[in-house]
Structure 1
Amino acid sequence: MRRGTGSQDCSTAPSSWTWLPRSSRRAKPDGTEVALILADLDHFKNINDTFGHMAGDHALQVFSAACTDTVRSTDLVGRYGGEEFIFLLTGTSLDRAEQITSEISRRIHSMQTPEGGLPTVSLRHRVHR
Protein backbone atom coordinates (compact mmCIF):
# COMPACT_ATOMS: atom_id res chain seq x y z
CA MET A 1 0.00 0.00 0.00
CA ARG A 2 1.41 3.34 -0.95
CA ARG A 3 -0.11 6.68 -0.22
CA GLY A 4 0.50 9.81 -2.22
CA THR A 5 0.22 8.62 -5.80
CA GLY A 6 -2.82 6.49 -5.04
CA SER A 7 -3.39 3.58 -2.77
CA GLN A 8 -2.32 0.08 -3.59
CA ASP A 9 -3.35 -2.62 -1.19
CA CYS A 10 -0.28 -4.74 -0.77
CA SER A 11 -1.18 -5.88 2.72
CA THR A 12 -1.21 -9.46 1.51
CA ALA A 13 0.91 -9.11 -1.63
CA PRO A 14 4.58 -10.08 -1.77
CA SER A 15 6.85 -7.61 -0.04
CA SER A 16 7.99 -4.74 -2.20
CA TRP A 17 9.79 -1.65 -1.02
CA THR A 18 11.32 -0.52 -4.29
CA TRP A 19 9.53 2.82 -3.77
CA LEU A 20 11.73 3.68 -0.77
CA PRO A 21 14.91 4.85 -2.55
CA ARG A 22 12.87 7.05 -4.90
CA SER A 23 10.81 8.36 -2.01
CA SER A 24 13.84 9.22 0.08
CA ARG A 25 14.38 12.11 -2.32
CA ARG A 26 11.62 13.80 -0.35
CA ALA A 27 14.26 14.68 2.25
CA LYS A 28 15.15 18.19 1.28
CA PRO A 29 18.38 20.07 1.93
CA ASP A 30 16.34 23.04 3.20
CA GLY A 31 15.97 21.41 6.61
CA THR A 32 12.54 19.88 6.08
CA GLU A 33 12.06 17.14 8.63
CA VAL A 34 11.40 13.63 7.40
CA ALA A 35 10.18 10.93 9.78
CA LEU A 36 10.76 7.24 9.28
CA ILE A 37 8.58 4.86 11.26
CA LEU A 38 9.05 1.09 11.40
CA ALA A 39 6.14 -1.07 12.56
CA ASP A 40 6.14 -4.75 13.40
CA LEU A 41 3.09 -6.79 14.43
CA ASP A 42 4.14 -8.71 17.53
CA HIS A 43 3.69 -12.50 17.56
CA PHE A 44 2.04 -12.41 14.13
CA LYS A 45 3.08 -15.99 13.39
CA ASN A 46 0.76 -17.13 16.21
CA ILE A 47 -2.26 -15.77 14.29
CA ASN A 48 -1.35 -17.75 11.18
CA ASP A 49 -0.54 -20.87 13.20
CA THR A 50 -3.66 -20.70 15.39
CA PHE A 51 -6.35 -19.34 13.06
CA GLY A 52 -4.91 -19.88 9.57
CA HIS A 53 -3.47 -17.68 6.86
CA MET A 54 -6.82 -16.10 5.95
CA ALA A 55 -7.03 -14.75 9.50
CA GLY A 56 -3.46 -13.50 9.21
CA ASP A 57 -4.27 -11.77 5.92
CA HIS A 58 -7.30 -10.14 7.52
CA ALA A 59 -5.21 -8.91 10.46
CA LEU A 60 -2.71 -7.40 8.01
CA GLN A 61 -5.52 -5.66 6.12
CA VAL A 62 -7.01 -4.23 9.33
CA PHE A 63 -3.56 -3.09 10.49
CA SER A 64 -2.73 -1.49 7.14
CA ALA A 65 -6.07 0.38 7.17
CA ALA A 66 -5.31 1.71 10.66
CA CYS A 67 -1.92 2.92 9.41
CA THR A 68 -3.14 4.63 6.26
CA ASP A 69 -6.10 6.18 8.10
CA THR A 70 -3.68 7.75 10.59
CA VAL A 71 -1.26 9.42 8.17
CA ARG A 72 -1.75 12.08 5.51
CA SER A 73 -2.55 11.18 1.91
CA THR A 74 0.89 12.50 0.90
CA ASP A 75 2.71 10.16 3.30
CA LEU A 76 4.06 6.80 2.18
CA VAL A 77 3.28 3.55 3.97
CA GLY A 78 4.47 0.20 2.68
CA ARG A 79 4.91 -3.38 3.71
CA TYR A 80 8.54 -4.47 3.64
CA GLY A 81 8.35 -7.86 5.30
CA GLY A 82 5.89 -10.46 6.45
CA GLU A 83 4.39 -8.33 9.20
CA GLU A 84 6.68 -5.32 9.01
CA PHE A 85 5.69 -1.93 7.64
CA ILE A 86 7.60 1.27 6.94
CA PHE A 87 6.35 4.87 6.84
CA LEU A 88 8.04 7.88 5.22
CA LEU A 89 6.50 11.15 6.39
CA THR A 90 7.84 14.42 4.97
CA GLY A 91 7.51 17.56 7.08
CA THR A 92 6.87 15.58 10.25
CA SER A 93 8.44 16.58 13.56
CA LEU A 94 9.53 14.19 16.28
CA ASP A 95 6.49 15.18 18.35
CA ARG A 96 4.15 14.46 15.44
CA ALA A 97 5.86 11.11 14.72
CA GLU A 98 5.28 10.16 18.36
CA GLN A 99 1.62 11.17 18.07
CA ILE A 100 1.23 9.04 14.95
CA THR A 101 2.77 5.97 16.58
CA SER A 102 0.54 6.46 19.65
CA GLU A 103 -2.56 6.81 17.48
CA ILE A 104 -1.76 3.64 15.52
CA SER A 105 -1.25 1.74 18.77
CA ARG A 106 -4.55 3.09 20.13
CA ARG A 107 -6.42 2.09 16.97
CA ILE A 108 -4.93 -1.41 16.94
CA HIS A 109 -5.78 -1.91 20.61
CA SER A 110 -9.43 -0.99 19.98
CA MET A 111 -9.94 -3.10 16.83
CA GLN A 112 -11.34 -6.58 16.71
CA THR A 113 -11.24 -9.33 14.13
CA PRO A 114 -13.53 -12.37 14.02
CA GLU A 115 -10.75 -14.25 15.82
CA GLY A 116 -10.48 -11.60 18.57
CA GLY A 117 -8.19 -8.66 19.08
CA LEU A 118 -5.24 -7.78 16.91
CA PRO A 119 -1.71 -8.44 18.11
CA THR A 120 0.23 -5.64 19.71
CA VAL A 121 2.50 -3.61 17.48
CA SER A 122 6.06 -2.45 18.04
CA LEU A 123 6.70 0.97 16.52
CA ARG A 124 10.04 2.76 16.21
CA HIS A 125 10.57 6.20 14.76
CA ARG A 126 13.39 8.53 13.80
CA VAL A 127 13.29 12.06 12.37
CA HIS A 128 15.92 13.37 9.97
CA ARG A 129 16.55 17.05 9.24
Structure 2
Amino acid sequence: SGYCLGGGLELALAADIRVADPDTVFGLPEVGIGILPSSGGVTRLVREVGPARTRDLVLRGRRFGAREAYTWGLIGEIAEGGGVREKAVEIAAELAAQPRLAVSVAKQVITVAADAPREAALLLEQLAYAALNRTG
Protein backbone atom coordinates (compact mmCIF):
# COMPACT_ATOMS: atom_id res chain seq x y z
CA SER A 1 0.00 0.00 0.00
CA GLY A 2 1.39 3.42 -0.85
CA TYR A 3 5.00 3.61 -2.01
CA CYS A 4 7.03 0.42 -2.41
CA LEU A 5 10.39 1.79 -3.49
CA GLY A 6 14.00 0.69 -3.09
CA GLY A 7 14.42 -1.53 -0.06
CA GLY A 8 10.65 -1.77 0.30
CA LEU A 9 10.35 -3.38 -3.12
CA GLU A 10 13.35 -5.60 -2.40
CA LEU A 11 11.60 -6.80 0.75
CA ALA A 12 8.35 -7.37 -1.16
CA LEU A 13 10.25 -9.35 -3.82
CA ALA A 14 11.43 -11.73 -1.09
CA ALA A 15 7.82 -12.59 -0.21
CA ASP A 16 6.09 -15.70 -1.51
CA ILE A 17 2.81 -13.92 -2.26
CA ARG A 18 2.32 -10.22 -2.91
CA VAL A 19 -0.89 -8.17 -2.69
CA ALA A 20 -1.15 -4.45 -3.40
CA ASP A 21 -3.81 -1.79 -3.41
CA PRO A 22 -4.59 -0.17 -6.78
CA ASP A 23 -2.64 3.00 -5.94
CA THR A 24 0.63 1.34 -4.92
CA VAL A 25 3.72 2.75 -6.63
CA PHE A 26 6.69 0.42 -7.13
CA GLY A 27 10.27 1.12 -8.19
CA LEU A 28 13.98 0.64 -7.65
CA PRO A 29 15.41 4.19 -7.89
CA GLU A 30 18.90 3.38 -6.54
CA VAL A 31 20.83 3.89 -9.82
CA GLY A 32 19.68 7.52 -9.83
CA ILE A 33 21.66 8.15 -6.66
CA GLY A 34 24.74 6.27 -7.82
CA ILE A 35 24.14 2.86 -6.25
CA LEU A 36 22.10 -0.20 -7.10
CA PRO A 37 19.65 -2.47 -5.29
CA SER A 38 21.84 -4.73 -3.20
CA SER A 39 19.53 -6.90 -1.11
CA GLY A 40 18.55 -9.31 -3.86
CA GLY A 41 16.25 -6.89 -5.67
CA VAL A 42 17.90 -7.15 -9.07
CA THR A 43 18.21 -10.92 -8.95
CA ARG A 44 14.65 -11.46 -7.76
CA LEU A 45 13.21 -8.93 -10.21
CA VAL A 46 15.00 -10.60 -13.14
CA ARG A 47 13.48 -13.93 -12.13
CA GLU A 48 10.02 -12.42 -11.77
CA VAL A 49 9.78 -10.18 -14.84
CA GLY A 50 12.79 -11.05 -17.04
CA PRO A 51 16.05 -9.28 -17.85
CA ALA A 52 14.71 -6.81 -20.43
CA ARG A 53 12.02 -5.40 -18.16
CA THR A 54 14.45 -5.39 -15.21
CA ARG A 55 16.96 -3.36 -17.24
CA ASP A 56 14.24 -0.86 -18.10
CA LEU A 57 13.07 -0.53 -14.51
CA VAL A 58 16.45 -0.51 -12.74
CA LEU A 59 18.56 1.50 -15.19
CA ARG A 60 15.91 4.19 -15.58
CA GLY A 61 14.67 4.04 -12.00
CA ARG A 62 11.22 3.88 -13.54
CA ARG A 63 8.25 3.76 -11.22
CA PHE A 64 5.26 1.59 -12.07
CA GLY A 65 1.83 0.94 -10.66
CA ALA A 66 -0.12 -2.00 -9.34
CA ARG A 67 -1.81 -2.72 -12.68
CA GLU A 68 1.54 -3.11 -14.42
CA ALA A 69 2.89 -5.18 -11.53
CA TYR A 70 -0.15 -7.46 -11.74
CA THR A 71 0.10 -7.81 -15.53
CA TRP A 72 3.77 -8.79 -15.21
CA GLY A 73 3.03 -11.32 -12.47
CA LEU A 74 4.94 -9.33 -9.87
CA ILE A 75 1.92 -9.22 -7.58
CA GLY A 76 -0.75 -11.88 -7.34
CA GLU A 77 -3.72 -9.70 -6.45
CA ILE A 78 -4.90 -6.13 -6.38
CA ALA A 79 -7.07 -5.48 -3.34
CA GLU A 80 -9.73 -3.02 -4.42
CA GLY A 81 -11.29 -0.61 -1.97
CA GLY A 82 -8.32 -0.29 0.36
CA GLY A 83 -8.60 -3.83 1.67
CA VAL A 84 -4.97 -4.83 1.12
CA ARG A 85 -4.33 -5.71 4.77
CA GLU A 86 -7.54 -7.72 5.01
CA LYS A 87 -6.70 -9.58 1.80
CA ALA A 88 -3.19 -10.36 3.04
CA VAL A 89 -4.58 -11.71 6.32
CA GLU A 90 -7.12 -13.79 4.40
CA ILE A 91 -4.37 -15.33 2.26
CA ALA A 92 -2.20 -15.92 5.33
CA ALA A 93 -5.10 -17.74 7.01
CA GLU A 94 -5.55 -19.93 3.92
CA LEU A 95 -1.87 -20.84 3.99
CA ALA A 96 -1.89 -21.44 7.74
CA ALA A 97 -4.75 -23.93 7.27
CA GLN A 98 -2.64 -26.04 4.88
CA PRO A 99 -0.34 -28.81 6.15
CA ARG A 100 2.90 -27.02 7.08
CA LEU A 101 5.27 -29.65 5.75
CA ALA A 102 3.53 -29.76 2.38
CA VAL A 103 3.64 -25.95 2.10
CA SER A 104 7.32 -25.88 3.04
CA VAL A 105 8.30 -28.59 0.56
CA ALA A 106 6.15 -27.07 -2.20
CA LYS A 107 7.86 -23.69 -1.70
CA GLN A 108 11.27 -25.34 -2.00
CA VAL A 109 10.32 -27.26 -5.14
CA ILE A 110 8.90 -24.11 -6.75
CA THR A 111 12.07 -22.15 -5.95
CA VAL A 112 14.36 -24.81 -7.39
CA ALA A 113 12.13 -25.56 -10.40
CA ALA A 114 12.27 -21.92 -11.49
CA ASP A 115 15.97 -22.24 -12.34
CA ALA A 116 16.61 -25.97 -12.72
CA PRO A 117 16.65 -27.91 -15.97
CA ARG A 118 13.21 -29.37 -16.73
CA GLU A 119 14.17 -32.99 -16.09
CA ALA A 120 15.81 -32.15 -12.77
CA ALA A 121 12.78 -30.14 -11.69
CA LEU A 122 10.42 -32.97 -12.61
CA LEU A 123 12.54 -35.46 -10.70
CA LEU A 124 12.64 -33.21 -7.64
CA GLU A 125 8.87 -32.82 -7.81
CA GLN A 126 8.39 -36.60 -7.93
CA LEU A 127 10.82 -37.18 -5.06
CA ALA A 128 9.13 -34.50 -2.96
CA TYR A 129 5.75 -36.07 -3.65
CA ALA A 130 7.04 -39.48 -2.61
CA ALA A 131 8.54 -38.08 0.59
CA LEU A 132 5.32 -36.24 1.50
CA ASN A 133 3.19 -39.25 0.61
CA ARG A 134 4.98 -41.18 3.34
CA THR A 135 4.18 -38.53 5.97
CA GLY A 136 0.39 -38.78 5.69
Whether these two folds match at TM > 0.5 is: no
Higher helix share: 2
Structure of higher RCO (CA pairs closer than 8 Å, 6+ residues apart):
1
Higher strand share: 1
TM-score w.r.t. length of structure 2: 0.29
- Larger Cα Rg: Structure 1 or Structure 2? 2
